[in-house]
């Protein structure tokens, strides 16, 4: 599976260095067979809702760069499977997986920052095709690479202006 999709990330800092992050998006993917009688077959397409929740450790800033690492879980909900070369709609069972993450925030001023992030998830699920009786184990294991623009705010930002640029925590 590969593709470019818009995402939303919300991060909450508990301390200067410890944060929780929720990453979320929707995407449509195509599945291809990779072994045996189904090698190269179009196994169908499907929509996914794959939120990832990680607990992160943010290192102290180094000249405006603030690297971090994280670990957590991903839950993937698969829905709206399409027709496959097997003549049936694909159905994938929802699944949980383990996620690791590494990234960096780059301060650009006045609460704004750039972000680059890589997440690796290990996740297995079961696939089936309609009433055909055909089932398969599926290794999803996505590598998620993202880049974005962020804004760090707090309650005083919502109630009034920021008097000076706030550094990243």
Higher pLDDT, 162 or 123: 123
167 found inside a domain: no
Structural domain count of the chain = 1
Tokens standing for residue 106:
């780059």
78 found inside a domain: yes
Domain that holds residue 27: 7-159
Which of 16-25, 87-96, 107-116 is the least confident region?
Answer: 87-96
Tokens standing for residue 109:
């001023």
Tokens standing for residue 73:
């879980």
β partners of residue 79: 47
21 found inside a domain: yes
| CA 84/CA 105 separation, integer angstroms | 41
169 found inside a domain: no
13 found inside a domain: yes
Q: Residue 30: which of 38, 42, 22 has the closest Cα?
A: 42
| CA 8/CA 94 separation, integer angstroms | 21
1 found inside a domain: no
Task: Note the pLDDT of residue 118.
Answer: 95
- Could you tell me the CA-to-CA distances from 28 to 18, 77, 147, 169 in Å, in that order? 33, 12, 20, 35
Counting every residue, how long is the chain? 169
168 found inside a domain: no
Scanning the structure block, which residue is given the tokens 């089936």? 128
Give the other-Cβ count within 10 Å of 119's Cβ: 21
What CATH number does residue 112 fall under? 2.40.160.20
Strand order from edge to edge, sheet including 124-129: 90-92, 124-129, 135-139
pLDDT tens-digit map of 29-42: 777 777 666 677 77
pLDDT tens-digit map of 51-102: 999 999 999 999 889 999 999 999 999 887 766 666 677 788 899 999 999 9
Would you report the helix, strand and coil content of the chain in percent, each value rounded to 5?
5, 60, 35
104 found inside a domain: yes
Task: Note the pLDDT of residue 168.
Answer: 65
| CA 140/CA 124 separation, integer angstroms | 6
């Amino acid at each position: 599976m590969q593709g470019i999709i818009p995402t939303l990330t919300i991060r909450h800092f508990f301390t200067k260095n410890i944060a929780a992050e929720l990453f979320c998006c929707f995407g449509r993917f195509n599945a291809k067979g990779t072994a045996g009688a189904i090698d190269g077959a179009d196994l169908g397409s499907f929509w996914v809702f794959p939120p990832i929740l990680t607990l992160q450790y943010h290192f102290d800033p180094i000249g405006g760069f603030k690297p971090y690492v994280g670990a957590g879980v991903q839950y993937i909900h698969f829905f709206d499977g399409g027709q496959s070369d097997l003549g049936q709609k694909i159905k994938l069972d929802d699944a949980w997986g383990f996620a690791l993450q590494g990234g960096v925030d780059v301060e650009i001023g006045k609460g704004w920052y750039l972000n680059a992030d890589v997440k690796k998830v290990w996740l297995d699920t079961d696939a089936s095709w309609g009433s055909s009786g055909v089932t398969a184990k599926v290794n999803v294991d996505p590598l998620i690479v993202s880049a974005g623009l962020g804004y760090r705010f707090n309650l005083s930002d919502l109630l009034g202006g920021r008097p000076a640029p706030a550094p990243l925590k």
